[in-house]
């Protein structure tokens, strides 16, 4: 399935018009060729109604019914006991017991419904990478943010979550910028109708204390076994990016190891280092590479209106880049959905590296946030914004999402935060959107890889040494090719590279913040046409003005920030 809307009839009643208006937010998701999502099945029982949408362009078997009225289904991408589709569902239904079910065999990014023995249970993947939205009472639950927003009695701005979204591209702590809409708590199975949450989903065993070579071997072999399962489930219809960095090289090495010939693509023009390196690798390895250097012409006002409407539903009214664009990504994703049934995102490889660029010691949450998230000058905001209050609220969210008892993060907490914060709220969005069109995974974020990575010693992660060693073990030839960092992955980083890295990770948080603000002030004010406020006003005059009371638009120097700001306005006015 590609999406769903669940309505608990015992919680709240809606008119048929309201339900249809909510469902339309999902039906309007489409590919560039015009194909839209459509309802595949409706399950209507005394206590609830569940509307199920198929994936666009894929005819998948994602639901299994039983003679006694029980059923099991999933939306997104599920792998259970090395199977997908009906076989996975049958095993899942047979194994499920709400008091003793184990999640060690559960993989993928998805949402599962099981109706068994008169109880309806729902959960998504452990880290919540497949986003599921709900109202505060779990009376309305959907894979679509807009669908839940449209059934909300009111649309109040959650100020903290709105600032997080416009500033950073995501709202954290399971909040959205609409106060009435939340993300479903991913750490629990939720029993619906009776509205009770059961136990946590995953038992984690601390990794063994092993040396570098043993850890590399263990991680590479575990990933190889997982990719063999992908081959068995999805054959060769796999799509992946190829750039000049670590993560896409690791994914390609794993695909090569299990003899999958993927559809490869890279973004950029001929002068781009990523394109040059990707094309060199593809030529050497005799791989077909699709270079996406699509030039989109400026649209007329009428064309831009239609594109904005398409993107609004395509992006589900949010996302790191907002809904305003020239349409190139809309077209590119549609093309990739047509050529491969499984879309792989190589992101997440930073679990094997020092993503946050922090030293090997404890750090106060507020100090960490000041260095990473205090990056806009006060001149961007109106007087009701307070940097310290914003960071303190964010620090409280970090403490809650990490289940921390104090305000200091250990080195292991820092490693976990990459998954719990960055991957879930940033990368999870893109994977959820892609799962409405095809199957989509971020393989390196599976708990079986992420949890052990938290215990890999810091010294192994520095300068990408550990991830490079895995690439070398899997495919020495691929490791030998150059990277955008100026060196290949067969050799250890140079002394100069280590020195530069040491300077970066030891910068005080206050200096990091000042440097970020300085770079922001020096940014160009020449923006692409599609974030022009006057253009937006000309096509959607009713969609401006809401968020402007919080920002000084003329002082914003980031086009993506402007796009996100206008996206909030669009959701609040919902003009389509």
Beta carbons within 10 angstroms of residue 35's beta carbon = 15
Residue with tokens 């109202």: 135
* pLDDT tens by residue, 399-426: 998 888 888 999 899 999 999 999 999 8
Task: Report the C-alpha gap between 564 and 221 in whole angstroms.
Answer: 41
Task: Report the C-alpha gap between 301 and 179 in whole angstroms.
Answer: 33
Q: What mean pLDDT is predicted for residues 326-339?
A: 82
Of 548 and 284, the one with more pLDDT: 284
Give the relative orientation of helices 328-339 and 301-314 as an angle to the nearest 10 degrees: 50
| Nearest partner of 445 among 557, 344, 307, 322, judged by Cα | 344
DSSP 280: H
Listed in sequence order, the residues at least 6 apart from 305 whose beta carbon sits closer than 8 Å to its beta carbon are: 539, 540
Residue with tokens 């019914």: 65
| Nearest partner of 84 among 247, 130, 76, judged by Cα | 76
Task: Report the C-alpha gap between 238 and 558 in whole angstroms.
Answer: 34
**132 and 143 in contact (C-beta within 8 Å)?**
yes
Q: Which pTM does this prediction carry?
A: 0.93
Tokens coding 102? 């184990």
Alpha-helical runs (H) found in 315-464: 328-339, 365-373, 387-401, 411-417, 428-434, 447-453, 458-461
Task: Report the C-alpha gap between 183 and 548 in whole angstroms.
Answer: 26
Task: Report the C-alpha gap between 238 and 441 in whole angstroms.
Answer: 11
Tokens coding 415? 């490693």
Q: What is the pLDDT of residue 500?
A: 79
User: What is the torsion angle, in degrees rounded to the nearest 10, for the CA atoms of residue 336, residue 337, residue 342 and residue 346?
Assistant: 40
Task: Report the C-alpha gap between 565 and 550 in whole angstroms.
Answer: 10
Task: Report the C-alpha gap between 487 and 500 in whole angstroms.
Answer: 14
Give the strand order in the sheet containing 39-44.
Answer: 39-44, 48-53, 3-8, 140-142, 133-135, 181-183
* pLDDT tens by residue, 87-126: 999 999 999 986 667 788 899 999 999 999 889 999 999 8
**484 and 511 in contact (C-beta within 8 Å)?**
no
| Nearest partner of 92 among 102, 49, 68, 448, judged by Cα | 102
* pLDDT tens by residue, 484-535: 888 899 987 777 777 777 777 777 777 777 787 778 777 777 888 888 878 8
* pLDDT tens by residue, 446-474: 999 999 999 899 889 988 899 999 999 99
Q: What is the pLDDT of residue 74?
A: 96
């Amino acid at each position: 399935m590609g999406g769903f809307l669940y309505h608990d009839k015992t919680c709240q009643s809606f008119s048929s018009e309201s339900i249809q208006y909510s469902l339309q937010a999902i039906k309007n998701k489409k590919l560039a060729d015009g194909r839209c999502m459509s309802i595949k099945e409706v399950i209507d029982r005394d206590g609830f109604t569940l509307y199920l949408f198929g994936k666009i362009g894929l005819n998948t078997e994602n639901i299994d019914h039983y003679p006694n009225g029980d059923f099991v289904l999933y939306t997104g991408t599920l792998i259970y006991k090395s199977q997908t589709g009906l076989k996975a569902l049958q095993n899942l239904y047979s194994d499920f017991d709400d008091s003793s079910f184990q999640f060690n065999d559960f993989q993928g990014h998805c949402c599962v419904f099981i109706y068994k023995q008169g109880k309806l249970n729902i959960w998504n993947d452990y880290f919540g990478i497949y986003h599921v939205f709900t109202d505060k009472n779990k009376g309305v639950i959907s894979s679509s943010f807009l669908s839940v927003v449209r059934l909300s009695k009111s649309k109040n701005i959650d100020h903290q979550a709105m600032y997080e979204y416009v500033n950073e591209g995501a709202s954290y702590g399971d909040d959205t910028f609409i106060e009435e809409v939340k993300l479903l708590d991913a750490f629990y199975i939720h029993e619906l109708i009776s509205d009770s949450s059961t136990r946590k989903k995953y038992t984690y065993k601390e990794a063994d204390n092993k040396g570098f070579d043993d850890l590399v071997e263990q991680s590479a072999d575990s990933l190889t076994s997982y990719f063999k399962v992908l081959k068995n489930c999805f054959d060769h219809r796999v799509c992946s990016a190829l750039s000049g960095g670590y993560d896409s090289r690791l994914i390609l090495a794993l695909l090569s190891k299990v003899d999958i010939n993927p559809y490869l693509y890279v973004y950029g023009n001929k002068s781009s280092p990523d394109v040059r390196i990707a094309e060199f690798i593809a030529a050497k390895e005799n791989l077909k590479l699709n270079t996406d250097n699509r030039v989109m012409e400026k649209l007329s006002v009428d064309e831009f209106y239609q594109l904005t409407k398409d993107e609004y539903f395509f992006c589900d009214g949010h996302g790191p880049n907002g809904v305003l664009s020239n349409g190139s990504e809309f077209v590119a994703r549609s093309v990739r959905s047509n050529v491969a049934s499984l879309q792989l995102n190589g992101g997440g490889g930073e679990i094997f590296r020092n993503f946050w660029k922090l030293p090997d010691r404890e750090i106060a949450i507020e100090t960490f946030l000041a260095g990473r998230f205090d990056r806009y000058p006060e001149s961007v905001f109106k007087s009701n914004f307070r940097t310290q209050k914003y960071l303190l609220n964010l620090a409280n969210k970090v403490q809650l999402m990490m289940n921390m008892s104090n305000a200091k993060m250990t080195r292991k907490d820092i490693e976990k935060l990459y998954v719990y914060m960055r991957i879930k709220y940033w990368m999870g969005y893109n994977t959820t959107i892609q799962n409405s069109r095809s199957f989509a995974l971020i393989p390196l974020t599976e708990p079986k890889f992420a949890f052990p990575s938290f215990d890999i010693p810091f010294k192994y992660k520095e300068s990408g040494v550990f991830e490079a060693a895995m690439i070398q073990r899997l495919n020495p030839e691929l490791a030998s090719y150059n990277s955008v960092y100026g060196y290949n992955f067969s050799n250890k980083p140079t002394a100069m590279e280590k020195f530069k890295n040491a300077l970066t990770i030891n910068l005080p948080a206050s200096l990091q913040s000042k440097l970020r603000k300085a770079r922001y002030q020096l940014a160009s004010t020449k923006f692409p046409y599609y974030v022009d406020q006057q253009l937006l006003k000309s096509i959607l005059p009713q969609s401006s003005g809401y968020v402007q009371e919080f920002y000084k638009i003329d002082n914003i120097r980031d086009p993506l920030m402007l796009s996100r700001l206008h996206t909030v306005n669009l959701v609040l006015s919902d003009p389509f």
